[in-house]
Amino acid sequence: MADGDSRGWIPPAAENLTDDLLVEILSRVPYKSLCRSKRVCTRWRRVISDPDHRRLLPRYHLHDAVVGFFDHRSFISFSGRGRFVGPSLPFLPDCGDLRLLDICNGLLLCRRRRLSDPRRFDYLAANPATEQWIVLPESGWTHKEQIARLGFDPAVSSSHFHVFEFELVEHSAMGMSGDHDGNVVAVEIYSSETGVWIHRNNGWGCIIRTLDIWRSVFFKGMLHLITMDDVVAVVDVEGNSWRTIPMPETFVDPYYGVDDGFIDVSQDCLCFVNTDRDDLYKLSVWVLEDYSSDQWTLKHTVSHLHLFGTDKQHFGYDYKVVSIHPKRNIIFLVSLNDGIFISYEMDSREVHYICELGDILTRHYLPYVPLYSESLANKFILDIAYSLMRKPMADAASKEARREGIPPPDDNLTDDLLVEVLSRVPYKTLCRLKCVCWRWRRVISHPDSDHRLPRYHLHGAIAGFFDHYDGRFADVSTAAGAGAGGRPLFLDPSLHFLPRCRALDLLDSCNGLLLCRCWRISDYRRRFDYLVVNHATRQWVVLPESARSDKRQIAYLGFDPAVSSSHFHVFELVEKNPANADGEADDGELDATINALEIYSSETGVWSHMDIGWGHQIGVLDDWRSVFFNGMLHLITMGYVVAVVDVEGNSWRTIPMPQTLDDPDCNVDDGFVDLSQGRLYFVNTDRYDLYNSLSVWVLQDYRSDQWTLKHTVSHLHLFGRRRKDFGHDY
């Protein structure tokens, strides 16, 4: 751009835009457009996918980001739109009681009670985005809960953080479950770099009182605390620099126990939010433009009437400020009366509804934006396991790789081969190998590799339990978590990234998609919606009503990523005799003769009704197995046939089951059907040897009805004893 007038030689204009500028631009487009923009060219794709940019791109904007809820009865939960941190932070090790204390730039600080000695606790720093965590050494106060805050700035160091623990003079002896409210006598500061706590006496030169639910912010290497003493108390990570910044003059009404204000960092300035002193029903935002001064500049004022539609709102009591957008003039608020999460754009003065919070309303909200920086994760692992902290990452990692017998990165090794190799290493090793080189990391992280790599191998796969005890509770737990390196995967019983609902039944899972029945909050146990979920990407979609939303039916999912990665079908079997019309009575297994099918296609978005075309009655149980194959749903039925129907409801077929013995006395299953190596498999007890062996048949030619016996194994071999009934004992 040396010469503005002769543009002929200038390369195509958009190429002039630097990556940073491109990120700035892309941060302003809606999420869907952003996804499409990946397909513009390799450079755009790289820029969008770069972990460093995620924080700025809309997918990770606070609009979609997670809100953390802090409940004083030691329960943590996160909501938002389909985000992933669960109530128990499922990737953490077992512990009795976990409390979230602070969140700072994607890193969480928790207090964990020891299982061995519940009176003592440890601090734990965790990054939910990378599922990494570290336990801090004892601070000397392991028996007494103090106010603790986290200081972490990935811009300064992506692998090190500080923890501030404030030693208080207690007003009363209780103080265990209530708010902490006391004079700060001293501060213990932990540095993850040195690995030790240092002790500093209060250097502010005045009495500083604070509450543990009050907001603090880490900025310029200093922790900034809202206090009861009309100042923002500031201390650095060394405990050498102490400062108090007088708060802008605001109105504080002690009667309501309102907050003493809210503090955050936006556009590289400290921002302070509180009720306007001159007008109780207005919210004002001040900015400390010159960080070294004590001069706050009034930036914006907005009336409660404009924000909430009513004047009578008290800051900190009726509503809370949750966050200020780091780059824009946007405030995020929770209206505690309405139970909603809203955003307010100062420039346009627009109020936007974000989501409903349901009945989880607490006083403490911590905003959370995921941090995808792998360097932190890698550092964690290396710190803990190998103490290779001082060595260059790649060097350490490839050394590690050699030790595990994996060939060093080799250009001759194709990605496919590399995946093959990597699929043979244990899960923990695989995690470490991510830091070998960029290519390995890409290969390991790549979604296509997921199902071939150990993390997603059956060792670490997810098993769903359908609990018939109360009939409406689905539990999904990890099977053989030990096989995956002792770290349970992230799916917890409530599929926590889903929106809130009364109860969730897991109905079917098909090639990585889950079909759930989600009981509506508004209309408990009467009506429900079907929900299709991909827990790996945390995406979910609610299906339109099937006309049967008041009655539980057997439903199956048909999804084949090889045919279409974005479309699926849901088959709902319509019972012939709705004997259990009363919603309370049908808690047991659904056992029905079906006379019609409702088939939902996600492509057309509609349900279509089909009368059954199998020519005779088909009875099924809802805990019986089905499999989706060749675009057809295959059902085990009571009529000794495998019933088959296609997604259009046009093609109907029954395949007689291989001859097996079905013993009604034992209430055994009618067999098991699945797909392996491109063929339909059927498993059941051998007809001739009821209690002693299990047989596997395979349908070699899909068009024929001829099952070929592939394998027989004795129960003795499988279980060490003979007397086992299929479907009953195993």
Partner 1 sequence: MATGSGAAAAAADAEEKESGSRMITLTSNEGKAFVVTEASARQSATIRSMVDDGGCVDKGFPLPNVDSKTLARVIQYCDEHGNKEAHTVDERAALAKFDKDFIAELDADKAFLYDVTMAANYLHIQGLFALTTQCIADTIKGKTPEEIRTAFGIEYDLTAQDEEEIKEEDTHA
Parallel/antiparallel/unpaired status of strands 626-629 and 632-636: antiparallel
> What is the rounded distance in angstroms from the CA atom of residue 347 to the CA atom of residue 328?
9
Q: Which stretch binds partner 1 (CB under 8 A): 28-36, 305-313, 419-427, 488-496?
A: 28-36
The residue among 447 and 720 lying less far from partner 1, judged by its C-beta, is: 447
Q: Residues 8, 29, 266, 702: which binds partner 1 (CB under 8 A)?
A: 29
Q: What are the backbone angles phi and psi of residue 425, rounded to the nearest 5°?
A: -105, 155
CB of 13 to partner 1, least distance (A): 4
Q: Which residue lies nearer to partner 1 by CB, 271 or 382?
A: 271
Assess 44 for contact with partner 1 (CB under 8 A). Answer: yes
To partner 1, the closest distance from the beta carbon of 357 in angstroms equals 26
For the CA atoms of 15, 17, 18, 24, the dihedral, rounded to the nearest 10 degrees, stands at -140
- Amino acid in position 431: C
Q: Which residue in 21, 156, 196, 305 binds partner 1 (CB under 8 A)?
A: 21
Binding positions for partner 1, 45-74, rule CB under 8 A: 45
Per DSSP, the three-state class of 460 is helix
Does residue 467 touch partner 1 according to CB under 8 A? no
Residue with structure tokens 């059956």?
458
Specify the stretch interacting with partner 1 by CB under 8 A; choose among 24-32, 93-101, 611-619, 637-645: 24-32
Across 35-97, where does the E strand assignment appear? 66-71, 75-79
| Closest separation in Å from C-beta 55 to partner 1 | 17
Q: Which CB, 76 or 443, lies closer to partner 1?
A: 443
- Please, which residue, 48 or 680, has the CB nearer to partner 1? 48
Q: How far apart are CB 287 and partner 1 at their closest, in Å?
A: 11
Provide, rounded to whole angstroms, the least separation between the CB of residue 297 and partner 1. Answer: 6
The answer to whether 9 contacts partner 1 (rule: CB under 8 A) is no
Alpha-carbon gap, residue 480 to 482, rounded angstroms: 5
Binding flag, residue 3, partner 1 (CB under 8 A): yes
Positive/negative CA dihedral, 708, 714, 718, 719:
positive
Q: Tell me how far, at minimum, the Cβ of 45 lies from partner 1, in Å.
A: 7
Q: Which is nearer to partner 1, 213 or 288 (CB)?
A: 288
| Interface stretch with partner 1, choices 2-10, 167-175, 430-438, 478-486 (CB under 8 A) | 2-10
Tally the C-alpha atoms within 13 A of residue 115's C-alpha that lie toward its C-beta.
Answer: 4
Using rule CB under 8 A, residue 13 touches partner 1:
yes
- Binding status of residue 678 toward partner 1 by CB under 8 A: no
Q: Tokens representing 107?
A: 């890193």
Is residue 608 a contact residue for partner 1 (CB under 8 A)? no
Query: For residues 10 and 716, which CB has a smaller minimum distance to partner 1 in the complex?
Result: 10
8 binds partner 1 per the rule CB under 8 A: no
Nearer to partner 1 by Cβ, of 185 and 298: the residue is 298
- Which residues have CB under 8 Å from 416's CB, separation 6+? none
Per CB under 8 A, does 26 bind partner 1? yes
Listed as own residue / partner, the contacts of 58-63 with beta carbons closer than 8 Å and 24 or more positions apart are 58/26, 58/27, 58/28, 58/29, 58/30, 58/31, 58/34, 59/31, 59/34, 60/369, 60/370, 61/27, 61/325, 62/323, 62/325, 62/330, 62/332, 62/343, 62/367, 62/369, 63/343, 63/354
Residue numbers 356-395 binding partner 1 by CB under 8 A:
none
One of 15, 523, 545, 587 touching partner 1 (CB under 8 A): 15
Q: By rule CB under 8 A, what string of x and - marks binding of each residue 517-546 to partner 1?
A: ----------------------x-------
Closest contact distance (angstroms) between CB of 230 and partner 1 is 16
Cα-only R_g, the chain: 30
Question: Considering only 41-49, 251-259, 425-433, 469-477, which stretch makes contact with partner 1 by CB under 8 A?
Answer: 41-49
Q: Which residues have CB under 8 Å from 471's CB, separation 6+? A: 586, 587, 588
39 binds partner 1 (CB under 8 A): yes
Piece of the chain touching partner 1 by CB under 8 A; list 35-43, 69-77, 184-192, 687-695: 35-43
Is residue 677 within the footprint of partner 1 (CB under 8 A)?
Answer: no
Of 261 and 488, CB closest to partner 1: 261
Where in 288-347 is the site for partner 1 (CB under 8 A)? 295, 297-299, 301
- As measured in angstroms, the least distance from the Cβ of 342 to partner 1 is 22
The answer to whether residues 325 and 344 touch, using CB atoms and an 8 Å cutoff, is no
| Burial call 270-301: b when 16+ CB within 10 Å, e when fewer | bbbbbbbeeeebbbbbbbbeeeeeeebeebbe
Closest CA to 159 of 126, 115, 207, 193: 193
The answer to the question of residue 25 lying near partner 1 (CB under 8 A) is yes
**Two structure tokens written together for 525:** 């146990």
Helix H or strand E encompassing 306: helix 304-308
User: 265 or 360, CB closer to partner 1?
Assistant: 265
Which residues, in sequence order, are CB contacts of 121 under 8 Å at separation 6+?
Answer: 97, 111, 112, 113, 114, 142, 145
Q: How far is the CB of 358 from partner 1 (least distance, A)?
A: 26
Ordered alpha helix ranges (H), 13-166: 19-26, 31-37, 42-49, 51-54
Does 32 bind partner 1 (CB under 8 A)? Our answer is yes
- Closer CB to partner 1, 20 or 50, in the complex: 20
Give how far Cα 545 sits from Cα of 285, 349, 586, Å. 45, 37, 20
Assess contact for 724 and 703: CB atoms under 8 A.
no
Residue corresponding to tokens 């070998």: 436
Query: How many angstroms separate the CA atoms of 81 and 171, rounded?
Result: 41
Can residue 606 be called a binding residue for partner 1 (CB under 8 A)?
no
Please report how close the Cβ of residue 113 comes to partner 1 at its closest, in angstroms: 40
| Residue 12 is a binding residue for partner 1 (CB under 8 A) | yes
**# residues contacting partner 1 (CB under 8 A):** 52
CB-based burial label for 466 (10 Å; 0-12, 13-18, 19+): middle
Q: By three-state DSSP, how is residue 188 classified?
A: strand
Strand partners of residue 504: 518
Upper half-sphere CA count for residue 675 (Cβ side, 13 Å): 15
Name which of 45 and 723 has its Cβ closer to partner 1: 45
The 552-591 contact track toward partner 1, x by CB under 8 A, reads: -------------xx-------------------------
Sole window of 12-20, 157-165, 499-507, 604-612 interacting with partner 1 (rule: CB under 8 A): 12-20
Which residues inside 259-298 make contact with partner 1, applying CB under 8 A?
267, 276, 278, 284, 295, 297-298
String marking each residue 430-449 x if it binds partner 1 according to CB under 8 A:
----------------xxx-
Is 100 or 285 the residue whose CB approaches partner 1 more closely?
285
Q: How far is CA 209 from the centre of its chain?
A: 36
Cβ contacts of residue 700 below 8 Å, gap of 6+? 679, 706, 708
Nearer to partner 1, 26 or 124 (CB): 26
Residue in 218, 239, 215 with CA at minimum distance from that of residue 107: 218
Contact residues toward partner 1 (CB under 8 A) are: 1-5, 7, 10, 12-18, 20-21, 24-33, 35-45, 267, 276, 278, 284, 295, 297-299, 301, 446-448, 539, 565-566
